[in-house]
Structure 1
Amino acid sequence: MNLLEVLKSEPWYVGQAVHVAQVGSRTAKYSSPSVEFHPLLKEVLLSLLRGDAAGQDVLKLYSHQAQAIDAVLVHKKDVVVSTSTGSGKSLVYLVAIFEALLQEEHDQMRSLNNVAQGLIQRGVAAERLTIACLDGDTPAAERNRVRMCDWAFYSKTVESKDMLHSHVLPQHVEYGRLLQNARYIVLDEVHIYRGAFGAHVCSILRRLRRLVDEALLQFVACSATVANPGEHAQRLFGPDRGDVAVVTHDTSPSGGHAVYVLWNPASLVKGLSVGGCRRVKRSEEEVPAGYPGPLEVVEGDGEEPAQEVVLGSYNQSLASPIVEVSLVEIILQDVKDALNASEVPDLSSRVVSYRAGNSVASTRYPARLRRQLERDIFSRQVLGVTCTNALELGIDIGRLDCTISLGFPGSVASLRQQFGRAGRAGHPGISFFVGFEDPVDQHFMHRPRELLARRPESVAVVPGNIAVLRAHLPCVAFERKIKAEDARFWHEGGENSAWQAAVRKCLAEGSLEEEHEDDALVLVPARRWATRPGGPHRAVSIRAVEDHFEVVEEVATQQAQSHDHGGFLQEQSRDALASGAVAAFRKLDEIDVSKAFYSLHPGAVYRYRGSEYFVTNLDLKRRRATVKKCDTPLAYYTRAFDHTEVRIHTREKHATSGPAKVFLGRVEMESRVKSFKRFWKSQDAQQEPEVELSLPSWGYCTRGLWFEDPVGVARRPEMFAWKREGADGSHPAEGAEQWTWGCGWAGAHGAMHALLHVFPLFVLADRRDLDAACMDEHEAPPMDHPRLMIFDAKDEGLGLCDAAFPHAFAMLREARRLVEDCPCQHGCPACIIDPHCREYNRFLSKRGALEWLQGLESGNIAMGGMDLHGGPAD
């Protein structure tokens, strides 16, 4: 009996498997590269491939591998390979690297026989070739050894970008021998370089290009299957490097042994209420004919354990890194508890958790432990592992029998990467996608065939984001004086370009200075960087765009002294100087400016690592918030309220489909946190009124996409006013008269949330990189021309709305289907409620949202009154 049949036979099974699909088979296609390999490399490849496609003396690879290798070695082009998981993408850059090394006459290459032997034994590495990993875990002694080598430079992992930015580039003189011999820059999993992070990676790669001999340099990129691999790779490398060779036709075999299962938890299948959402029970689909039973346990012969290796990956895109790590540990403990209570308690010790990748540093496992875990998983000593998406990105853990993806990972491309971990190399495997209550998850649980047939999304990245360039320019100048010709690396140079705008901002704020050299103007870093450890590089977070506020805790002087001032800042105010007292502060955290006013305003309750702190001061000039730890748990929490306006600056493009009209252009967002309110945790406590705040407004110019009312019937001002039924207008109790209003702003608010929910179906995007022009009942003015607007939530934009514009009407249709298909009555997290809403989902109407979305498609927005139970929540 296979795994799925076992699950279906359990008494708790009520149709959670809403869809089962078996991957179709595909026959491999082979061809020979036209390049003449070094004899030893050819011997190694023939040995590795013997029994697969190789003949006696003729080297044959998958056709897409041969095409990519020829592009690198024969045509000397930059290359991107975008094919499925397990299709042999890594072989392309490994062959290129070793071919280049074997053709060089280095001292360390004297014994080529040993090189070949090492290649044969390890498949990709060589014993006499010194190969090292340079990342944050590399010891200082090993880094010193790396500086003295002549290797082909090879950057693969996400962590390598951090090392390039903060270590290699600022010390490029010490790494000069390595950098000047750089031949190949390998970028794996390039689909993750998007949004703010992608913009930072673009600048890091351009800084690298500026310091190496570009005549020798080639880029080789590998990607999950995405819609625009060539365009994306060219933006990363730089359009000035010319055309990129794009390889997308996958010619690797697929034996039809992989099975995909979409699994909707019982609480959603049975129609139990979850957060206001009720789901109907769905009929299960039978296992397809010929299902191979991939996880059937067979007695082993001692060469390979007769057991399954299972990967459980948590993908919930709404969670912070700390939350993700906590859930990984919770899942691990649940699995261990279940095994300890079963008939096989000994298996409990063979289930582990794994933390790496983009996990926050304080929660990431040490390097030695991670390497040991990877070896144990590869050798199948470990039966199961729970993790974030770290094992999706470029870490070789061998073949898995089963993967369980908890929540949609944000893109079809990433889900396919995770599914591809099971059943590789012709072995059977099964992959589960467990749907959460998230709108996108439930969208695909409703339409499973659409998920499996869906084309991968586009990837959006903007190399010329002014905010990112402004952060990197002091680093560029620190590494080498900036000259006029350096603008070409950012493929811009006009007076109004992003490069020039960023330069002007840096000069105005004093992070760059001008000098004259040989009758030419050059830019140098501000003098203050010379005295700061790490220079300007340490001030740049490559996963953020904004500036930040520091959060510091005021502590007793004795406490600071007991810690030897580690992590402490000592300062003396004017009053303190008079009395001889010293104020000591311990840095706790850093928060983006756009978030700081919401969580660090005076009077706020700030939570950090399970403790509560009271904000005592917000220093706007120094961008520092001072907090004091609460001795006892507070009886209340705080919530800030803002006033936000989004104004259209320019309309650059528009398109129509029937009556619907969509625009793309530049918009201005301005927001001000105007008040906060204490919410008492006890339901019996008297709720307090809002407390006014005097904080400055903040905002930015960015890129926006908006739909406008095609027929103008929503122009009547009364359609945007709240109407309270009942004598006193108070919040109605359960069963009392309900709140009613026109569909105006309340419906527009819900419709914008629905558009945000479906946005990732078309463009790879992180939710924190998007926003919408939502307003509450106090901010919603009458409008002559109402609209639904979403925009990039970063200064100068991230290219997300630009990438989504061609799909705008498809987005509108999917948003309407999302709201139509949700069986809830008044709105829930699966349709119009958004956990990121700055208005806390007040002033929402599900029926109004549907009227808006249907009206934009049909040209007839019905402005009749409609009900919402509960009205605007406090």
Structure 2
Amino acid sequence: MRTYAPATTATVLDRLLEEPSLAAAVLHHEVIPERPPDVAPFPDWLDERIVAGLRSRGIDSLYRHQAEAIEAIHAGEDVVVVTPTASGKTLCYTLPVLQALADDPSARALFLFPTKALGQDQVAEFAGQAMASSLQVAVATYDGDTPAPIRSAIRTAGQVVVTNPDMLHSAILPHHTKWFQLFEQVQVIVIDELHTYRGVFGSHVANVLRRLLRLCRHYGSNPVIVCASATIGNPAELAAQLTGRPSRLIDRNGAPRGERHVLLVNPPILDVATGARTSALTHAQRWALPFIRAGRQTIVFGKARVAVEILLTGLREALREHLGPRSRIRGYRGGYLPTERRSIERGLRDGEILGVVSTNALELGVDIGSLDVSVLAGYPGSVAGTWQQLGRAGRRLEPSVGILVASASPVDQYVIHHPEFLLERSPEEARCDPDNLHVLLAHLRCATFEMPFEPGEVFGPAPADDLLAFLGEEGHVRQAGDGRWYWSSENFPASEVSLRAAAPENVVIIDTTPNRPRVLGEVDLFSAQVLVHERAIYIHESVQYYVDRLEWHERKAYVHKVDVDHYTYANRAVTLKPLDVFAEAPATGGRRVHGEVMVASLVTLFKKLKFGTDENVGWGPIDLPELELQTTAYWVTAEAVISPVRGVGGSAGSAHAPGSALADPAPRRLAPEAADGLGDPSASWRRDDLDVALVGAGRALQAVAAVLLMVDPRDLGLVSQVRSPHQESPTIYLYEAMPGGVGLSERLFARHDELVVGAAELVASCSCESGCPACTGPRLDPGIDAKALALRLLRGLGAAATRAPSAPIPARVA
């Protein structure tokens, strides 16, 4: 029998670093020293009751950034507060709101949070502070989980309304006449977690805020806007894009910090030839287990829902084998019911739950107490996201540990071998495009429904008359005799506009195991195709369920409980068709293009993979409809590099997803003169060689693009075509994985030369023999030299003619 004696975080870390198999995987160990607080006294104007409430909760002074923020808000300035996780940003806006309510109980405030979990948490925090200050404040959450009877009470009596952009868009703004008390008296609008409002979601939210401020002006209010954000590169610019108003930047952090250990860990190589490594999930589990066994509250982050459930299952099984605290380990991700999420959050705060495995759903500032250890199973895709997750540990002044376990992906390998990228580099810039015509028109419809437009009234960058006239041609609006524009359709426009890139509809998962079927959870349409297709193994709270049937048109999946030794993984086939060309220019070896494309995604088959080993033990077909995405893309053609390709003939080739192979003659190894990267790139290509070269070069371009643009690698999709029907030549497409795009492809078009050189350096510097997941992607056949083929193609596209940029480029050293 093994016993589990409590131990300090530092003691457990020392033991782990003494174990050779784990210590050898640590490529960098950074110790960030503790920092004393920088404090300031309470301002003289702050109500004595609020000061007394703060003192009763052990707060005798303010941190410097808190004092600066509340003074600015009190003076009527818009502010954006940018400090690290657990630095006390919440007080920056709760104190001014409490003061406004102490001065005038009829005042109102609106808090916007990107997730329901964060909104629920902040209601509890604000109510606690109000109670400690002996102030009677009606604060309530208004979201999709709020019962109907309570909603009417919030509309009439809610002094502080906590909601999310989706509810503001679809349930508050269209019914503003029921909310007149809020709009007439609102003094403060809080936008928390500002850095999450990027891309398509940020573009939509910016327009929702335009509609909100338009209604405030109509009702005679002019609220102060307070934004709070984790550390990003351009907070003031993003706040201005979202609100349309300049904000004062407050970024001098005065909060103290305990000693923090940051470990960058690379799982050991299993096969030098292929570059295969131990799974990041398995290795992350090895690091997390000793801390949990020692009674240290630990959070483990997985990058996807399936990863969370695999980690949770592994941790629980390991603890069960050795009589550990198995029941005190929980999962947390999208798809769990609200009651489950609230229970998990509460259990973390009061210490009942010792460990949690989560997607980035807990990356944001939900108060889950004082955790000791944060383990990241894979790089989250951005510097800001990484520090958000690492920052979940260390909410006390005691030592904390953050561990980043790299996967075999190219970007992960770059970060793990270049600590300065994470520890010294300025975080990414968050960008959105509120004036995207599709987004702007959608919200102009909503705004017209809410209130008629005056002639010449500005909405967005210019007067809205021309756009309203366009909508009038479609019959949605009409111009009356008084010159004003009125909504004239029977439709409810807000219900047709989703703020998120994902599909607006969800698939409900129904468990038929008990006598009475129950709702187990829900997933969005895009995820449903790979998670709950028929014969899938769906994992929920580490319990396995077999999907009996998926009623696609009814949006329902029926499952029953099983106990098997494998999980399922579904493959997507992606096809791409260019629709329009925005810009085109000659480039070495071919052309570079920026344009609009239609991407069709079809899930075709699934694999059964064993837990732990990922051994393929079976497969099956999937019959579901295609999902389409209209977006923008950057692509590069290689017609000048490629001599007539043997094996292609008159065929147009086909578009395919990364990693798929074209059925052609058996692959071969390159001759030595080509394998060393110095062969003639324009020499005749075989069709199968060209296919492998396009996929390998495309994967390297995709990885380097994520670094050059400082975006999540999942924001860019890859399709390569041996002969594009549109270009009549070999083509590599990088498309934005979100409807309409947010300008990434345009920036790639402008940085084409850097991109090609960086991709060649990534492949050339990799220590594998002939291609691996860290450079050209998974090897499809051991007999082919994907590394040499990709280098040959990239050299033909100009990699040899251009010097490398000064910007960091991914590299991998075994």
- Name the TM tier (shorter chain): 0.7 to 0.9
Q: Which residue of 246, 249, 261 maps to 2:249?
A: 246
Give 1:217's aligned residue.
223
AA aligned to 1:541 is S
Q: Which residue of 1 aligns with 2:326?
A: 348
1:68 matched residue in structure 2? 69
Over 3 Å counting, the alpha-carbon distance change for 1:451 and 1:547 in structure 2 is: closer
Superposition pairs of residues 538-687 of structure 1, within 5 angstroms: 538-544=495-501, 591=525, 610-611=546-547, 644-646=576-578, 649-651=581-583, 665=594, 667-670=595-598
User: What is the SS of the residue equivalent to 1:464?
Assistant: coil
User: 1:546–1:348: structure 2 CA closer, same or farther, 3 Å change rule?
Assistant: closer
- Specify the SS of the correspondent of 1:459: coil
Q: How does 1:352-431 map to 2 (within 5 A)?
A: 352-355=329-332, 359-360=334-335, 363-366=336-339, 369-431=340-402
- Is structure 2 residue 89 aligned with structure 1 residue 148? no
Q: Is the 8 A contact 1:69 1:92 kept in 2?
A: yes
Distance in 1 (CA, whole Å) between partners of 2:574 and 2:127 is 61
Matching of residue 207 in structure 1 with residue 211 in structure 2? yes
Write out per-residue CA displacement over residues 418-474 of structure 1, whole angstroms, 9 at most, x where no aligned residue. 211222342211111122223322222232343322321111212123333454444
Report if aligned partners of 1:328, 1:353 keep a CA contact under 8 Å in 2.
no
Q: Does 1:526 align with 2:506?
A: no
Deviations 1:278-330 (A, max 9, x none): 3599xxxxxxxxxxxx9999xxxxxxx996443333332xx3x4x35533542
Per-residue deviation, 1:646: 3.4
Counterpart in the other structure of 2:790: 849
Counterparts of 1:290-329 in structure 2, within 5 Å, are: 308-316=295-303, 319=304, 321=305, 323=306, 326-327=309-310, 329=312
Task: Give the Cα separation in 1 of the matches to 2:462 and 2:100.
Answer: 33
Q: Which residue of 2 aligns with 1:726?
A: none
Identity value in percent: 27
In 2, Cα distance between equivalents of 1:859 and 1:735: 22
Asked if 2 retains the 8 angstrom alpha-carbon contact of 1:278 and 1:824, the reply is: no
Aligned equivalents of 2:509, 2:141: Cα separation in 1: 36
**3-state SS in 1 of match to 2:583:** strand
Residue equivalent to 2:460:
490
Q: What is the distance in 1 between the residues matched to 2:376 and 2:384?
A: 13
- For 1:626 and 1:148, the matched residues in 2 are separated by 37
* Among candidates 210, 221, 234, match of residue 228 of structure 1: 234
Corresponding residue for 2:613? none
Partner residue in 1 for 2:641: 714
SS in 1 for 2:175: coil
Call closer, same or farther: CA 1:802–1:19 in 2, change over 3 Å: same
2-structure distance, mates of 1:330, 1:680: 17
CA change 1:181–1:273 in 2 (3 A) is: farther
Q: Residue in 2 aligned with 1:277?
A: 275
1:754–1:548 distance in 2 versus 1, CA, 3 Å: farther
The 3 A distance-change label for structure 1 pair 733 and 314 is same
CA contact (8 A) 1:31 1:62 kept: yes
User: What is the Cα deviation at residue 353 of structure 1?
Assistant: 1.5
SS state of the match for residue 576, structure 2? strand
Structure 1 residues 61-109: Cα deviation after superposition (integer angstroms, max 9, x where no partner) = 43333332233222x232211221222222211122112222215599x
Q: In 1, Cα distance between the equivalents of 2:40 and 2:608?
A: 70
Aligned pair count reads 719
Counterparts of 2:34 and 2:626, CA distance in 1: 61
Find the counterpart in structure 1 of residue 25 from structure 2: 16
Over 3 Å counting, the alpha-carbon distance change for 1:84 and 1:614 in structure 2 is closer
- Gaps of at least 5 residues in structure 1 are 55-60, 109-117, 282-293, 298-304, 530-534, 554-558, 568-587, 630-635, 724-728, 862-874
Aligned counterpart, 1:830: 774
After superposition, the C-alpha distances for 1:844-869 in whole angstroms (9 at most, x for unaligned) are 943233344456665449xxxxxxxx
What is the rounded CA distance, in whole Å, between the counterparts of 1:62 and 1:807 in structure 2? Answer: 42
- SS of residue in 2 equivalent to 1:271: strand
Match of 1:167 among 163, 166, 171: 171
Alpha carbons 1:411, 1:760 under 8 Å: kept: no
8 Å Cα contact 2:79/2:249 also seen in 1: yes
Q: State whether structure 2 residue 19 is matched by structure 1 residue 87.
A: no
- Counterpart of 1:770 in structure 2 is 716
* Among candidates 618, 641, 666, match of residue 732 of structure 1: 666
Tell me how large the CA RMSD over aligned residues is.
5.6
Does the CA contact (< 8 Å) of 1:89 and 1:222 recur in 2? yes
User: Is 1:439 aligned to residue 385 of structure 2?
Assistant: no
Per the alignment, residue 577 of structure 1 pairs with: none
One-letter identity of the residue aligned with 1:454? R
Amino acid at match of 2:275: C
- For normalisation by structure 1, the TM-score amounts to 0.68
Cα distance in 1 for residues equivalent to 2:509 and 2:373:
45
Sort the Cα spacing of 1:736 and 1:28 in 2 relative to 1 into closer, same or farther, 3 A.
closer
Q: Distance in 1 between matches of 2:554 and 2:53?
A: 59
Equivalent residue for 1:457? 428
For 2:100 and 2:381, the matched residues in 1 are separated by: 38
Deviations 1:366-411 (A, max 9, x none): 1xx5444333322323322222222221211221111111111121
- Say whether the 8 Å CA contact 1:312–1:406 is kept in structure 2: no
* AA in 2 matched with 1:791: Y
Task: Tell me the amino acid that sits aligned with residue 221 of structure 1.
Answer: C
Alpha carbons of structure 1 residues 648 and 788: separation in structure 2 relative to 1, 3 Å? farther
Aligned position for 1:36: 45
Q: Do the aligned residues in 1 keep the contact of 2:189 with 2:224 (CA within 8 Å)?
A: yes
TM-score (norm 2): 0.72
Look at both structures and tell me which one has the larger radius of gyration over its CA atoms.
1
Q: Can you list the C-alpha shifts for 1:757-778, whole angstroms capped at 9, x where unaligned? A: 2444354645564334521468
Is the Cα–Cα contact under 8 Å of residues 330 and 353 in structure 2 kept in the other structure? Answer: no
Measure the CA separation in 1 of the matches of 2:41 and 2:591: 49
CA contact (8 A) 1:377 1:383 kept: yes
CA-CA distance at 1:147 after TM superposition? 1.3
Matched-pair contact (CA < 8 Å) for 1:643–1:779: no
Q: Secondary structure at the match of 1:437?
A: coil
Whether the 8 Å contact between 1:147 and 1:174 is mirrored in structure 2 is: yes
What corresponds to 2:745 in structure 1? 801
Paired letter, 1:92 = C
What is the CA-CA distance between 1:259 and the residue it aligns to? Answer: 0.2
Amino acid aligned to 1:264:
N
Instruction: Give CA-to-partner distance per residue, 1:779-835, whole Å, 9 cap, x none.
Output: 69764xx77553334454223335667876665555344323434444343323389
Q: Which amino acid aligns with 1:775?
A: Q
**Which whole-Å CA distance do the structure 2 matches of 1:141 and 1:590 have between them?**
28
Change (3 A) 1:662 1:383: farther
| 1:62 and 1:251 in contact (8 A); partners too | yes
Structure 1 549/407 Cα, relative in aligned 2: closer, same or farther at 3 Å?
A: closer
Structure 2 distance, partners of 1:637, 1:262, is: 28
CA contact (8 A) 1:271 1:279 kept: yes
The 1:8/1:225 distance shift into structure 2, 3 A limit, reads same
Q: Deviations over 1:219-243 (max 9, x none)?
A: 2111111111111111111x2x3x2
Q: Which amino acid aligns with 1:544?
A: A
Change (3 A) 1:152 1:314: closer
Contact 1:459 1:764 survives alignment (8 Å): no
CA-to-partner distance for each residue in 1:671-692, whole Å, 9 max, x for gaps? 67999899999x999x99xx9x
Match of residue 130 from structure 1: 138
Q: CA contact under 8 A between 2:200 and 2:501: conserved in structure 1?
A: yes
1:184 to 1:717, Cα distance in 2 relative to 1, 3 A: farther
